[in-house]
Amino acid sequence: MNIRGILNGILLLTLTLTTLLVPVKPVQSAASPQQVLLLYDSLAKGTTKEGNVIELQRLLAAYSIKVTLRSLDQYEQGMLNHYSKVIMVRNAADILITNKFYVEDWEHYQGQYLHIGYSPPASLKKKLQLTTDVMYDANPDLQIGQFSGISLQAQDMLYIAGSQGTQSLGKLIFQDDSLQAPYAVSKEDAAYVPYFEQGNVSALAMGYVLKDWLHITAAPKVYLAIKEIYPFSDLGLLTETAERLYQVGIPFLASVRPVFSNTDYPAMQRYLVAIKRVQSNNGSIVVNAPIAMHSTSTSNMDHSLQAKMNEFINLLVQNKIGPLGIGAQMHWTYDKEYSEAGMGFFDSVILYPDENVDYMERSDTSKAFPSSLYSVPIDFLQDLHTSNNVLPELPMDTVITVDMPKDMEELEEMLKTLEQYWVSFADYKQERHQVVTDVNTITSSEGVISMNGQPLSLNYTPETVNSDYRYTEEQEKSFTTLFNIQNQFFIVAIMISLLLFGGLMIIGYRLYRKKYLK
C-alpha cells in the first residue's frame, strides 16, 4: 500500500470517529421567535389603566413573541442594543424618566419602536408630526379592522389631535364634539397608541396595531374551547356536550385536567373513556396545567412536575388519546420551572388570563410557542355584537372559552349563544402541533393525529368500566378458625347465662309472692 492510500485511510477513519463522537444537534422545527423589549413606567395600580401591561403581554404571546419585561427603574445599561423591537408603556403623565442609562441608550437606538400612552419622546413626535390632547369623560365609538360602532368609555382619554405623513390605524368618533381621531398612527418602523386599557375593546384595537407593527401576515382563526373538565365532572353531560357540538358541526377543544395518582381506579378509567368519546366527536384534546403547589422555601420546592406531566401524557397515549397542546395561565410562560417542566412537552398553548398567580422560579423573559391562542370568555361575543351577529375577523388567533356546563340548562344556553353569533370555528387538529415525551411523539396536521408515526383512528365504541375494584389490598389473616370458634363459644355461654338468670328471677318472684300472701 502506498503512502497516499495510507493517508486516505487515516482521513476516512478520522471523519468516521468524528461523526460518531460529536453529538448531532437537533434540527430546529421552526424559526426563532421575534423578541421584544417591553418597558413601562408604572403598573398604574388603582387606576383605570391597571392591568394594561399584563394585557399587552398576552397580546404579544398570541403572536408568538418572546418578551422581556422591565420597568424603567430596572433598565440596565446597553439593553436597547440587544433588541430590534422596543415597546414603551407610559401610564402616568407626571412620572419623569430618571434612569440615565436608558436616556443615554435611547439617543442611539435605531430599531422599531412602539409608544403607548403619555409623553411620547421628542424624536417620535417629530417623525410622526404628532400632537395630542385629552378628552375627559369620553364615550367615543371605535372603528378598526372589520369592527365598527364599538363604544368605549374612559375617564380621561388621551387622543391624537394631529399627525402628518402617517398611516392611520382605526378611528375614534367622539359623538358629543363631532370629533374624529385615529386610534393609532404609524410610519415606517415607528407607531404610537395614546389610549390602551385592559377589560374593554381597546385590547382588540391594540391587537390590530401589533399585527401591523410586527408585520404579521398569517390569516387568524377562531376556536372554541371547553374548560374546567375534571375526573369528578358529570362525564355523562360532558359526552352529551361533545355529541351536541358535533351534531351542529362545531369543532372544539377540550381542556382536561391531568391526574397524577390512582390512575388505575375505575373513576379514572371512566374519565379516560369520556375523553375518548369527546375525541371521537371532533374534539381536540389539550392538557390543562395542574394547580401548582409548592413550599415557599426554595429547598422544599416540588420539582416532580416534569415527571408527572410526562407520565400523564403517556397514559393518554396508552389509551389512544392524542393531546395536541397545553392550556395554562399566562404567568406560566414567565416561570422557568413551569415553562420548561410543565409546558416543555408542547409546541402549542392556550394562554388564559391570570387568576391565581403563583410563581416558582420567576423570569423576566417569556417562553414563546409557535402556536399560541389568545383566549377570551364567551361573553366577549356579546361585547362585539354586530347588526347581523356575524363575528368579523379578529387580528390574532383567538379561542372562545366556556366552562363545562353544569346541567342541561347551561348546555342549551351555550348552544343557543354559539348558534346566535354565527362564528366560523376552526378545527384545531387541522394545524400543525407536536407533543414529545420520553417515549411518545404525538403530531397533528391537516386533521390527522399521529402517534409515533402511526395515524390515530378517531372512531371509538364506548366501553363499560368494571366498578368491582378492590381499592385496598386484603390483609393477610391468621388464627381465623380459632377466633371463629372462640366467638361461637362466648355466644353460647352468654345465652346459657341469660337463661339461667331468667330462671332464677322467676323462682325468686314466686317465693317472694308466697311469702307475701302468708
CATH of the domain at 436: 3.20.20
Q: What pLDDT score was predicted for residue 393?
A: 86
Across the strands, what pairs with 180?
A: 173
279 Cβ contact partners less than 8 Å away, ≥ 6 residues apart: 254, 285, 321, 322, 458, 460
Q: What is the pLDDT averaged over residues 231-235?
A: 92
The answer on 168 and 48 residing in a single domain is yes
Domain with residue 116: its CATH number is 3.40.50.880
Cβ density class 466-475: b for 16+ within 10 Å, e for less: eeeeeeeeee
Q: What is the mean pLDDT of residues 281-285?
A: 96
Question: Of the candidates 455, 471, 496, which is a domain's last residue?
Answer: 455
For the stretch 395-430, pLDDT in tens is 999 999 999 999 999 999 999 988 888 888 999 999
Q: How many domains does the chain have?
A: 2
Cell numbers at 252, concatenated: 372544539
Tell me the pLDDT band of 483, cut-offs 50, 70 and 90: low
Do 43 and 191 lie in one domain? The reply is yes
* C-alpha to C-alpha distances, 413 to 224, 241, 351, 410, nearest whole angstrom: 15, 12, 25, 5
Are residues 149 and 184 located together in one domain of the fold? yes
Can you name the residues that pair with 276 across neighbouring β-strands? none
d(CA 171, CA 163): 13
Confirm if 419 and 241 have CB atoms less than 8 A apart: no
Q: Which residue range is the domain that position 451 belongs to?
A: 222-292+305-455
Query: Tell me, what's the pLDDT at 494?
Result: 86
What pLDDT is recorded for position 139? 87
Mean pLDDT of 313-331: 96
Say whether both 162 and 261 belong to one domain: no
Tell me what the pLDDT averaged over the chain comes to.
Answer: 86
Q: Which residues pair with 136 in a beta bridge?
A: 156
Instruction: Using a pLDDT cut of 90, give the percent of the chain over it.
Output: 66
pLDDT digit string, tens, across residues 94-118: 999 999 999 999 999 999 999 999 9
- Residue that finishes a domain, picked among 397, 423, 455: 455
- What is the pTM assigned to this prediction? 0.82
Q: State which of 405, 437, 455 marks the end of a domain.
A: 455
- The candidate with the shortest Cα–Cα distance to 186, out of 113, 121, 108, is 113
Give yes or no: residues 399 and 446 share one domain: yes
Could you tell me which residue, 261 or 505, shows the higher pLDDT?
A: 261
431 with 364, same domain? yes
